[in-house]
Each structure stands twice: as structure tokens, then as C-alpha cells.
Amino acid sequence: MTNRIYNFNPGPAALPLEVLQQIQEEFLDFGASGMSIVEVSHRSKWFDDVINDAVDRTKRLLGLDQRYHVVFCQGGASMQFCMVPMNFLSNGRKADYVNTGTWSTKAINEARIQGKDIRVAASSEDRNFSYIPADIEFDSQAAYVHITSNNTIKGTQWAEFPETGGVPLVADMSSDIFSRIIDVEKFGLIYAGAQKNIGPAGVCLVIVRRDMLDLIPEDLPTMLKYSTYVNKNSMFNTPPCFAIYTVQLVLKWLEEKIGGLGKMEAINRSKAELLYGLLDSSEFYRPTADQDSRSLMNVTFRLPTEELEQAFVAEALENGLGGLKGHRSVGGCRASIYNATSHKAVEVLVDFMRTFEKKHG
């Protein structure tokens, strides 16, 4: 096997090594079918077993009851930015949005493009999205409240989800789905592009509560209605079979190898504490997010100069540590420590950071 680096990419991101090895092992002959998973019919028993197992594991891991449907859509989370208001804001309904960064801003813009009645109930734009707003007053008549649970670019995350007075939460959980235990009772819909924490690019996991389906107007295009995916088990048309298969294997790894969300959360918190501990003890590195709003998934930080940041990223890669460049819109550095990024990887990163500081500080 070729040498593999420690992968801190923000998405597409690290996948569990044993999942990659299983894909490699059965790629030419999936389930004794004599075909690859990318060749089998999506109408076959082989793929039926894959998608149904992915749905079942999602429900078990998140503790979903019979009210919740699990479906797989294409178009990534960005498609959901328009699908959510399209499905839920007809007939004069309105919604509240909380703006905590780039992806929240995009979701707000997609709703406004359609002329939907939305209100930005809170925003952290005043301090460059470095914190999560608190004590928000929501509209009790809103159809939903939209949040981005974790902000990959700014390195912030909702530690506690907001109290909405019974209004359903709709959340973009692309970068922290399955990373911790959540109270699903608060949510009317959850969506997550797979390529950050649960699989490869090409599929978006959507969890929708049954009562939300009653809001969907009849005159939407078929492929833009959540009810189409629910009624056809995500197979109204050919789904992204390989991506769903990989998600299924990741969920199996999470459930059977890791032992569920409680254990995964403990691992994630330990990784984050190790990395933030170094940042807080250093005068060389500067974390960019407020301490009470810090992400467990995306650790963002700056160095004294942009030249040092460029050197940091380059030297890190030379030492087998990849993906540490900050998003192009903000610069700096970022370590994405998703579920599949091991504790060992973070330990190696912290050791490198100490060495780099001694050399350049």
C-alpha cells in the first residue's frame, strides 16, 4: 500500500481506512454478484440491501422513531438551500434564519431568490462570524428555524441548539452529522452533504419528519419535492449508488467499530481538546473562534504572518500532514478533525506544531 498522509482536508475529507480497504477488496465483485458496486442495478437486491441498511443504521445511530424518514438526494447541501424554502414556505408561510457564516449566507440568499418571506433572526456577521449568537427571539408563527450546525470556514459550532418555542429546526449538518449525540426531537429536517463526515461527494443525506411533508405544495417539480424521495425510497431516478454504498460502510464502522455516537463524541472531544490546548498555551498560534463557540470538527487558527502560514502548510505537507490551508475566503490555517481523522493524527499534528513554533517563533 502506498504511503498515506494524515488527512485534515475540510471536504472531500478523510474516510476510515478500513472502509477504503473494504471498498478496494470488493470493488470488482460486490456481494458475489460478479459485478462492481458501480455496475449493479439500483433496482437489484444487492443495492436494495445497501440503501435499506444505510437507512436502518442512520435511524439507530440517531435514535429516530417512525416519524422520521431517511432519504438520499443529489446536488449536495447547496441544493437543499433552495429545496427547503421551496417545500416548506408556500401559501404565505415564513421562516427564521440564523446567519453564522458562508453557508448560512448562501442558504438565506437561495430563499430570497425565490421571494420567500424569511427573516434573519440573528447573525454573528458583526464580528466576522467568530461566534454563535445566543438568546435569540424567534417568530412563533415561523414554519421553521434554519441553522448551520457547524461552520467549516469560520470554525464555529452550536454547542447547544437554540430553543425555538416549538418551531421545527431545519439544520445543515454537513460537517458534524454523526459526530455527537443530538436531541432529534427539535428537528423537522436535517440535511448533510456526505463529503465531510460520512462519505464521498455526490450524495446528501436528508432526514425529514413526517409532519413537514404536509407543507409541500403539489406544483413543485417532481425531483425537487421531498415526498418524491420518501415515497420511492430515494429511487425515483437512479441514485448515486457508489456514494450511498460508501456512506453505508461508514455508518457500519461508526456503529460496530466505534460503538455509536456517545463513544464517537468522546473521541472527538478528546481530539479537539488536545489541539485547542496547544493553541491556548501558545503565543505563536491564535485560534479565530470564540472559546464557547469553537467547533469540534474544524479548528481554525492564524500565525503571526501570512508568510509563516504558507510555510506552515508547506512544511506540514512535507511531514505527511495534508489539508491544513484555511479556506480561500478567509486565509489562515484549518485542521478538519472529522470522525475518520484519528486521535493519532491529531497527536502528530500537535507535535509538528510545537516543532514549527520552536523553529520559527
CB-count burial class (<10 Å; 0-12, 13-18, 19+) for 31? middle
- The cell numbers describing 184, all together, are 432529534
Residue 216's nearest CA partner among 205, 231, 204, 202 is 231
CA 21 and chain centroid, separation: 23
Asked whether the beta carbons of 187 and 270 are under 8 A apart, the reply is no
CB-count burial class (<10 Å; 0-12, 13-18, 19+) for 21? exposed
Which of the following is catalytic: 46, 96, 172, 271?
172
- The cell numbers describing 73, all together, are 438526494
For residue 255, the tally of other CB atoms under 10 A from its CB is 18
CB-count burial class (<10 Å; 0-12, 13-18, 19+) for 257? exposed
**Annotated catalytic residue 103:** yes
What pairing do the DSSP bridges indicate for beta strands 321-322 and 145-148? unpaired
State how far the Cα of 205 lies from the Cα of 282, in Å rounded to an integer.
39
Which of the following is catalytic: 196, 225, 271, 325?
196
**What are the residue numbers of the active site?**
103, 172, 196
